Amino acid sequence: MSFFNYKYLILILLTFTVQLFAQNQDEQKFNEAVKLFRNKQYQSALNTFQSISNKENPNQTAAKFFVVKTYIELKKYTDAEKEAADFLQKFGLSKYADEVSILLVKSQLEQKKYKSAFSNTIKLIKSSSSTSYKIDAKSIAQKIAGNYLSSYDLKEFSDKENDKKIKAFLLYTLAKLYSLEGQSDKGIKILEEIVNEYPQTDEYFLARNSLSSNQNQQVKDEIIVGVILPLTDKDGKRNIAAEEMLEGIKYAFHEINFNRDNKIGLLIRDSKRNEEEIRDIVQEFDSDKRVKAVIGPVYSDESEIVVSALSQTDLVFISPTATDEDLTENNDQFYQANPPFTVRGKVFAQYIFLKEGKRSFAVLNSLDGYSPILAKSFVDEFQRLGGNILIKETYRSKSVDLSKQISNLSQHLGNLDGVYIPLSDKYDAEIILSEMLKQNFIVPVYGNQDWLNAKGLETSSTISNTLKITSDYFIDFSDFSFNEFNEKFLNTTGKDITRNVLYGYDTAKYLVSVMRSIQSRRNTIKLKIDSGIKINGFHNNISFSKKKRNLYLNILSYSDGKFQLIEKYRGTE
């Protein structure tokens, strides 16, 4: 052997030894990271898995797989989704690919990306060579479709699919969804299509069995709606407002049950303004599978208790009147039929800017109550749309001297389209209007529903006749349909219509409308609500946004001593 060859051999051996040492180090680090993961030391494990997955080595794909798993354990679902997608692009043929696909779907579900999650389960059904993973993926896909997708969404997937086996699966899932939505005829047609056109698929036998069991069969489940209202307080004193709401709720179900064979029952519970009582009622409703949805509670503090208990149930709760801002955050089941104050200021800004075309405004608000919330949401939205807030003034409620604030506003008189004045106390209106007249500050005034009972409107008609406000309720006593309804209600109940009766009636009427055209199950009711269905109510219209809040408000004008409805306006979020 020549000296050159000898040196070359030593170099090869040294290189191999270094590589073997590095591999052994990576193996050791990987095993240590797995131990950290099992001991729930996720952040430390993640750092090691990432360092191993970023370079070529025998543990690279396994480490990358654990990166995805660790991000999910850390609840960093966006990062998990990104890493899973990267894994499947680079290592799509790896033995871990199927499991990573499942993790990708899980991270997307946690982020409420339901259509993306469904799409990735379909990709897994197509790509996996494992019968077990295909079965799991089909099961996951059907759960996603049944709980989070509409028949319209699913039809989009099936219409685009060319693979016959996948197409049959999508059609069968669509047929089940049609049945859940109360469109049984459409579901049966699709089952017949599968039997006639897809005989070589697993779904052929499922469809044939479903058709056989559907023949001459009518399922009549007992349906109950829960009602939770504070009919008494902690001392046992009657709550008249809640009693009136209950009368409205009961009458709405009386109307639908009058000509209905399969009656909808009401399970009415008194919350007694008591936290323990409320939690027991939620548990009772949840355990009774006949209960499909719940109307209530009334107050925001009671609603907060319900919201904290929502993880225990899949029931939908619709509050007729709760207005706190954060009740619908971080949950999928609580809906507010009464718009929160941030929504009211925002929607009014949209109406003024988009409908009336006004661009320059002043704001005068109290520092008390909900007036600052209304003012801020109005200002933020008006400016976001492109409008100008030329001046903003504040005052303490029940002040007797507002001359300075009105004087400051008056300096912009020639450039203003109007002034937004959300009251926190109806008695402030008289002082404000008087000072505006005194300083000849004559501009259109816009406000909130506290102006409905404000003092001084008659004596300041020059300004008050320009007044427009938003309100979560308005009863038009000159409306023929309302008077007809009022007469029927009086004849049936022996009681007159009140504002609280209508809060209860319109919320119940909304839920009745949701349940009318679908199979009344908890998840299908939620899907129907989330579709944006709208009802025209007597006190206000109801239609929920993606944030589960009603975006309708009554826009009212004041003229010659009375308020009149301009329109029921729906804003956006």
With cut-offs at 50, 70 and 90, classify the pLDDT of residue 64.
confident
Q: Is 268 helix (H, G, I), strand (E, B) or coil?
A: strand
CATH 3.30.450.20 fits 220-339+479-542, yes or no: no
pLDDT exceeds 70 at position 17? no
Residue 52 CA, chain-centre distance (Å), reads 41
The pLDDT tens digits for 273-289 are 999 999 999 999 998 88
What is the edge-to-edge ordering of all strands in the sheet holding 468-471?
A: 388-395, 360-366, 418-421, 445-447, 468-471, 552-559, 562-570
pLDDT at 214: 65
Gyration radius of the chain over CA positions: 31
Q: What's the topology of domain 341-471?
A: Rossmann fold (3.40.50)
Sorted by where each begins, the domain ranges of the chain are 3-214, 220-339+479-542, 341-471
**333 near 526, Cβ under 8 Å?**
yes
Q: What gap in Å lies between CA 442 and CA 96, rounded to an integer? A: 73
pLDDT at 304: 94
Tell me, yes or no, if the two domains 220-339+479-542 and 341-471 fold the same way: yes
With cut-offs at 50, 70 and 90, classify the pLDDT of residue 24.
low
Long-range pairs, 442-447, Cβ under 8 A, ≥24: 443/362, 443/413, 443/416, 443/417, 443/418, 443/419, 444/417, 444/418, 444/419, 444/468, 445/418, 445/419, 445/421, 446/348, 446/352, 446/418, 446/419, 446/420, 446/421, 447/420, 447/421, 447/422, 447/423
Of all residues in the chain, the percent with pLDDT exceeding 70 is: 94
Q: What gap in Å lies between CA 295 and CA 127, rounded to an integer? A: 45
The pLDDT tens digits for 361-394 are 999 999 999 999 999 999 999 999 999 999 999 9
Pairing of strands 334-336, 264-270: unpaired
With cut-offs at 50, 70 and 90, classify the pLDDT of residue 442.
very high
What is the average pLDDT across 151-168? 88
Residues in contact with 572: Cβ distance below 8 Å, sequence separation at least 6, in sequence order: 350, 545, 551
CB atoms within 10 A of CB 459: 12
Measuring CA to CA, which residue among 315, 317, 326, 321 is closest to residue 337? 321
Q: What gap in Å lies between CA 356 and CA 358, rounded to an integer? A: 6
Q: In what helix (H) or strand (E) does residue 493 lie, and over which residues does it extend? A: helix 480-493
pLDDT at 215: 54
pLDDT at 455: 86
Terminus-to-terminus CA distance in the chain, angstroms? 82
pTM (2 decimals)? 0.65
pLDDT exceeds 90 at position 19? no
CA atoms within 13 A on the CB side of 554: 22
Least confident window among 55-59, 77-81, 160-164, 409-413: 55-59
Q: What gap in Å lies between CA 318 and CA 549, rounded to an integer? A: 10
Q: What gap in Å lies between CA 141 and CA 162, rounded to an integer? A: 18
**Which whole-number Å values give the CA distances from 501 to 251, 290, 482, in the listed order?**
9, 26, 13
The pLDDT tens digits for 476-507 are 888 888 999 999 999 888 888 999 999 999 99
Structure tokens at 542: 């109801």
Structure tokens at 264: 């909808």
pLDDT at 7: 47
The pLDDT tens digits for 542-572 are 999 999 999 999 999 998 889 999 999 999 9
pLDDT at 265: 87
Q: Counting beta carbons within 10 angstroms of the beta carbon of residue 248, is it exposed (0 to 12), middle (13 to 18) or buried (19 or more)?
A: buried
pLDDT at 281: 93
Per DSSP, 232 falls in state B
Rounded to 10 deg, the angle between the 60-73 and 97-110 helix axes is 20
Cα-Cα-Cα-Cα dihedral sign, residues 196, 201, 207, 212: positive
With cut-offs at 50, 70 and 90, classify the pLDDT of residue 216.
very low
Q: What gap in Å lies between CA 62 and CA 66, rounded to an integer? A: 6
What is the average pLDDT across 403-407? 96
What is the average pLDDT across 290-302? 94
Mean pLDDT of all residues belonging to the chain: 87
pLDDT at 431: 93
Structure tokens at 133: 């993973």
With cut-offs at 50, 70 and 90, classify the pLDDT of residue 221.
low
Q: What gap in Å lies between CA 297 and CA 302, rounded to an integer? A: 6
CB atoms within 10 A of CB 237: 9
Task: Select from 1.25.40.10, 3.10.20.30, 1.10.340.30, 3.40.50.150 the CATH code of 3-214.
Answer: 1.25.40.10
Q: What gap in Å lies between CA 473 and CA 554, rounded to an integer? A: 7
Per DSSP, 544 falls in state B
pLDDT at 5: 46
CB atoms within 10 A of CB 14: 10
Q: Which of the pair, 201 or 350, is modelled with greater confidence? A: 350
Structure tokens at 427: 């008695």
- CA trace torsion 106, 112, 116, 119 (10° rounding): 60
pLDDT at 134: 82
Fill in the amino acid letter for 189: K
